[in-house]
Structure 1
């Protein structure tokens, strides 16, 4: 696949990573794929939902760029099926600007979304930002810091092992859901605004709808058996943001 003229000068290639691009508009899928290939991705293209689900299993991508309005299986159902076996980052593409479509897509495990028409450069930059997120705790001068799991009532968050349990039972979170929960738990007495959570999880250069944070919080609560009214684990501080609850 040829690289487009004038493709972006990124902060560095990500050789060795795999991307699955799913869109029934073949020219658009090829354009996105060419930008990703320029950045070192091994790219696989799919034109419909059923093919995407099959390729997500066989190609084992690190990131999936997924059109919401696919024929047959739509992007929401494809994302749901991919999430059953993969923790790949999922970026939804949507031509529909109403918020409901966006929120539905994120509620089944999408990490980000981009509204058409979009800049392939921006899309790749956002994918790069997701892939640069640290996957282990920060290091200190005397070597890696591996703190014990943090506990909030029956909730246990092992950031080093990227594991979450409630009452001893493992909870399956997407990468982004885990990162949001980990960010809140690092300083449980501090309220984090949407902007601070976005900076901690998506990075300081992320551009998009900050209400995406609310969707991930709602999905976290559902998986943790929590609710907004009680806020045992994730508490809403109205007009400010979110903080960890007390577990009670």
Structure 2
């Protein structure tokens, strides 16, 4: 993926400005910065939910903003996102929320049929087992804890099997051991398809343990782009201190 002189404005507010960023297949990139630095907007541009105001965007060989209908659905099926607010449907059972990861590849008829008689149960069970929730498959999602719902969102991504993985604070509600497990799953998922991982992370230690590159945003601009091996937790904490 490549962003060239990217700019995103919301009215009078500039969320991203002059962003040049290239991520190669196989890279694991942590995106860091204070609240409001533009991290979530950056991921939104990449998954096609936020249109750029100016600049060039190429994701898996295509410009998301220039696609419509089936072409956009195909790109989104290849791009998996763990949203900060998870975007789960609370009253639905866990199995249905996990199966939502396959809607980009299912026909409308199969998706509707699955709401009555869930499809692909073996794959759903395997994904939930990997995140420690195999026994919750038929429970209502809104009866789970925040950390459990976050793991349901990870399982949804596992059944989708995207080439590009975008994760917005994927471990914010998890304890340290589960946070490490979540990042390992996401990195492994991207590697399985020969793709890349971009994860917005607020924990410097987590970023350095699981990513090989760190990109930092300050007021919508890239002000840090370095190999993780060249950084320290203390240094990243100072970076956060500068932008807060």
Instruction: Mark yes or no: TM-score above 0.5.
Output: no
TM-score of the two chains, using structure 1 as the length reference: 0.26
Bigger proportion of residues as helix: 2
